[in-house]
């Protein structure tokens, strides 16, 4: 069996690696000059900078297992312990996000009235039997203010989305499951933790993932580099797939390779490309399926890195801060990259990574690099008091950055799955459908390895 994987982001790479480990012949085709998709790490002027994702949370073994199979587990580095502190810009200043329900009592992240309302979570009504926006879900559980501040900031950090549009079932499925079983999330958490303690006496069982924000010593590019090395010539860059048609029991692909048109045959094809690219390739085969895929919106994001000479400002505290939409600011959030990942800035340099745009301010991603640097500096001055002149700047524009799992997403994906199942030998993976995080992408690729190996 020969499998052609279209798309060399983490989804396609993890899939190719998993299939080869099971003895399947694989060719991976990547349109761009480099593998990695959204993951692009650069070493410049004493900084390790990430064009897209910065980290993963070591919450399940998926990514660690992939690293182990590549021999790079020892290169995983966890964030500085101080990165456990996170801030939200709210009501004129940065306020620390409480890390536990008791810490919430002392916290000023939301006003007293909102805190009292949050305690009413224990009395939340049962969920409606329909897909619900994250905002509606939040208001039902923790009230209007906590939703506008905390829930909105939380989604901004992952989706850069619109809290009123995102589907809670699609973006936080575990939370919805907790509600289904326990009605109140607080009750659900207490009961689940108690059950876990009973099931596993302390010190027993497999080593637990650390739960910490993590990356690699040389940035996330280390993972891509190891995957590329392991795939060798099975992964080809500079090959854009432009057409797809059935031929006998298999598939034929029309490709453009370094300006030359060519054709390739495959028994099975996997689309590991963004949904809008998959839609274009599938349109001649199934118009309805293509329209469904095209309906998945993407939020644009600009990533603005500002590097500072050692000593030019005090090292900022914690992981960084998020800015809820209601503050009407121009940054979505800032990662204190050098405080969180000290190895990413040499000799005491400071690196701040500002996220701009998102579903609510797509216009800002259209600004040119110089305007984005000015914007980031103005926002940092007003929100965090950073007045120092950066010695280094780098800007990345992601015009279609993060897929938006808006209300109706789960139904849409079920219909897409049905449509794809009608095309024998064709499969889908990638961040557009069942999770946008790196760990989600790898987990979904692993599931597809099992399906294909069967
Ligand atoms: C700014 C930003 C910050 C993020 N931060 C985090 C984070 O900190 N942690 C986290 O877990 N996740 C983060 N994410 C999400 C995560 O990076 C992505 O969900 C994940 O990398 C997507 O991987 P993928 O392989 O599914 O898709 P992509 O990375 O989009 O890969 C798809 C590949 O397909 C290729 N392609 C497209 N068309 C064709 C064609 N016709 N022929 C051949 N190849 C083609 C593309 O060139 C691309 O390389 C972030 C995303 C962005 C944009």
Q: How far is the CA of 162 from the centre of ligand 1 (A)?
A: 20
CB burial of residue 369 (10 Å; 0-12, 13-18, 19+) = middle
CB burial of residue 304 (10 Å; 0-12, 13-18, 19+) = buried
Are the C-beta atoms of 165 and 172 separated by less than 8 Å?
Answer: no
Give pTM, 2 decimals: 0.95
**Residue 424: other Cβ atoms inside 10 A:** 11
Q: State the Cα–Cα distance between residues 399 and 71, nearest whole angstrom.
A: 34
pLDDT of residue 124: 85
Alpha carbon distance, N-terminus to C-terminus of the chain: 12
pLDDT of residue 187: 86
Atom of ligand 1 nearest to the CA of 54: 8
Q: How far is the CA of 38 from the centre of ligand 1 (A)?
A: 4
CB burial of residue 81 (10 Å; 0-12, 13-18, 19+) = exposed
Nearest CA to ligand 1 atom 17: 53
Nearest CA to ligand 1 atom 2: 52
Atom of ligand 1 nearest to the CA of 29: 43
Q: State the Cα–Cα distance between residues 390 and 45, nearest whole angstrom.
A: 12
- Could you tell me which residues are beta bridge partners of residue 403? 298
Nearest CA to ligand 1 atom 25: 9
Atom of ligand 1 nearest to the CA of 440: 11
Q: How far is the CA of 69 from the centre of ligand 1 (A)?
A: 22
Nearest CA to ligand 1 atom 10: 437
Q: Which pair of structure tokens corresponds to residue 349? A: 């340099």
Measured CA angle at 271 (ends 433, 251), to 5 deg = 145
Q: How far is the CA of 428 from the centre of ligand 1 (A)?
A: 14
pLDDT of residue 129: 79
Q: How far is the CA of 432 from the centre of ligand 1 (A)?
A: 9
Q: What's 381's DSSP letter?
A: H
Q: What is the DSSP string of 157-212?
A: HHH---TTTBBHHHH-HHHHHHHHHHSSHHHHHHHHHHHHHHHS-TT-SSPPP---
Atom of ligand 1 nearest to the CA of 277: 38
Question: Strands across the sheet with 260-266, in order?
Answer: 239-247, 250-257, 260-266
Q: How far is the CA of 437 from the centre of ligand 1 (A)?
A: 10
Q: What's 56's DSSP letter?
A: E
Crossing angle of the two packed helices 409-421 and 287-294, in degrees rounded to 10: 150
Q: How far is the CA of 439 from the centre of ligand 1 (A)?
A: 12
Sign of CA dihedral 188, 193, 195, 196: positive
Q: State the Cα–Cα distance between residues 141 and 129, nearest whole angstrom.
A: 16
Nearest CA to ligand 1 atom 53: 401
Give the residues surrounding ligand 1 with Cβ less than 6 Å away: 6-12, 29-32, 37-39, 52-56, 240-241, 272-274, 277, 301, 303, 398, 401-402, 430-431, 436-438, 441
Nearest CA to ligand 1 atom 5: 53
**Residues of the chain scoring pLDDT < 70:** 200-208
pLDDT of residue 197: 72
Atom of ligand 1 nearest to the CA of 39: 21
Q: State the Cα–Cα distance between residues 384 and 407, nearest whole angstrom.
A: 34
pLDDT of residue 332: 98
Atom of ligand 1 nearest to the CA of 437: 11
Are the C-beta atoms of 139 and 151 separated by less than 8 Å?
Answer: no
Are the C-beta atoms of 155 and 135 separated by less than 8 Å?
Answer: no
């Amino acid at each position: 069996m020969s499998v052609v994987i279209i798309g060399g982001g983490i989804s396609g790479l993890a899939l190719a690696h998993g299939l080869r480990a099971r003895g399947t012949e694989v060719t991976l085709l990547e349109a761009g000059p480099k593998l990695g998709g959204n993951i692009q790490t650069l070493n410049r002027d004493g900084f390790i900078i990430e064009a897209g994702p910065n980290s993963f949370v070591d919450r399940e073994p998926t990514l660690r297992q992939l690293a182990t199979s590549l021999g790079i587990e020892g290169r995983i580095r966890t964030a500085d312990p101080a990165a456990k502190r996170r801030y939200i810009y709210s009501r004129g200043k940065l306020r620390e996000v409480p890390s536990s329900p008791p810490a919430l009592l002392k916290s000023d992240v939301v006003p007293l009235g909102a805190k009292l309302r949050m305690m009413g979570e224990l009395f939340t009504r049962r969920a409606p039997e329909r897909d619900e926006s994250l905002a509606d879900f939040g208001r039902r559980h923790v009230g209007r203010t906590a939703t506008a501040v905390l829930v909105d900031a939380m989604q901004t950090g992952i989706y850069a989305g619109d809290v009123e549009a995102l589907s809670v079932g699609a973006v936080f499925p575990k939370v919805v499951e907790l509600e289904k079983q326990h009605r109140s999330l607080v009750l659900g958490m207490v009961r689940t933790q108690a059950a876990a303690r009973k099931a596993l006496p302390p010190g027993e069982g497999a080593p637990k993932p650390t739960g910490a924000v993590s990356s690699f010593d040389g940035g996330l590019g280390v993972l891509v580099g190891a995957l590329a090395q392991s795939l060798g010539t099975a992964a080809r860059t500079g090959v854009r797939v432009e057409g797809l048609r059935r031929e006998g029991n298999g598939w034929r692909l029309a490709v453009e390779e370094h300006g030359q048109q060519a054709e390739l045959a495959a028994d099975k094809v996997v689309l590991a490309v963004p949904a809008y690219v998959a839609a274009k390739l599938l349109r001649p085969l199934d118009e309805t399926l293509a329209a469904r895929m095209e309906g998945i919106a993407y939020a644009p994001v600009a990533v603005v890195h500002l590097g500072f000479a050692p000593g030019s400002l005090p090292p900022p505290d914690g992981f960084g801060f998020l800015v809820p939409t209601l503050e009407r600011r121009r940054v979505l959030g800032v990662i204190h990259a050098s405080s969180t990942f000290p190895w990413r800035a040499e000799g005491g340099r400071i690196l701040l990574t500002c996220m701009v745009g998102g579903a609510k301010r797509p216009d800002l991603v259209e600004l040119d690099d110089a305007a984005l640097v000015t914007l980031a500096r103005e926002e940092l001055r007003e929100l965090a008091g950073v007045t120092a002149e950066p010695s280094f700047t780098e800007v990345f524009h992601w015009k279609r950055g993060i897929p938006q799992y808006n209300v109706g997403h789960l139904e849409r994906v079920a219909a897409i799955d049905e449509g794809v199942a009608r095309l024998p030998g064709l499969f889908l993976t990638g961040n557009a459908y069942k999770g946008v995080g790196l760990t989600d992408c790898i987990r979904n690729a692993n599931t597809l390895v099992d399906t294909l190996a069967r």
